Amino acid sequence: MLWHRTFAVSYHQRGFGVRRRRVIGVQRQSGALSRVELGAAIYRETEMTRVQAASIVDAILNRIAIALARGEVVKFPHFGTFVLMDKVARPGRNPKTGDPYEIAPRRVVTFRASDSLKSRVQPVLPGLRAEKHHAN
């Protein structure tokens, strides 16, 4: 795991009820890219302000959520596709008591990575062939 330094914003009271914004450096151990870290990366790589970069991230994620709520498929060429899957009801078992029960049908969001994304994150290791393997 990597240590990341992220910045959180806190508000504290100063005299006369005036709220002051303060940026706090926070060290945390994480292997995930957060919304804040994505906004910070956009800020560093463009000429946008931090607020504009955060707004862009929020707008994109909001539009993805709206499209999925409408039942639409969200595609990003050379990255991947967000798809809705309907899960049917199925039998389940309480692991603590062993009592059987029915797991209700539900709709879930899945992500399918594109071939180009898969090839970027999967390095070719020595001794392994780079071709696709299909189960018979």
Q: Record the pTM.
A: 0.62
Number of folded domains that form the chain: 1
The two three-digit tokens of residue 95, written as one number? 């692991």
List own/partner pairs for 67-76 with CB under 8 A and 24 or more apart. 68/109, 76/114
CA-CA distance, 84 to 95, in Å (whole number)?
28
Please tell me which residue, 5 or 109, carries the higher pLDDT value. 109
pLDDT at 135: 45
Which of 27-36, 52-61, 122-131 shows the highest mean pLDDT?
52-61
Please tell me which residue, 129 or 36, carries the higher pLDDT value. 36
Q: How many residues are there in the chain?
A: 136
Q: Is residue 91 assigned to a domain?
A: yes
Q: Is residue 107 assigned to a domain?
A: yes
Tell me the CATH number at 108. Answer: 4.10.520.10
Q: Is residue 130 assigned to a domain?
A: no
Backbone dihedral angles phi then psi of residue 13, each to the nearest 5 degrees? -80, 135
Q: Is residue 120 assigned to a domain?
A: yes
The model's pLDDT over 59-100, given as tens digits with 9 standing for 90+, comes to 999 999 999 999 999 999 999 999 999 999 999 999 999 999
Q: Is residue 41 assigned to a domain?
A: no
- Name, in order, each residue with C-beta under 8 angstroms of 101's C-beta and a sequence gap of 6 or more: 91, 92, 93, 94
Q: Is residue 27 assigned to a domain?
A: no
The residue segments making up the domain with residue 93 are 73-125
Q: Is residue 90 assigned to a domain?
A: yes
Q: Is residue 80 assigned to a domain?
A: yes
pLDDT at 47: 87
pLDDT at 121: 86
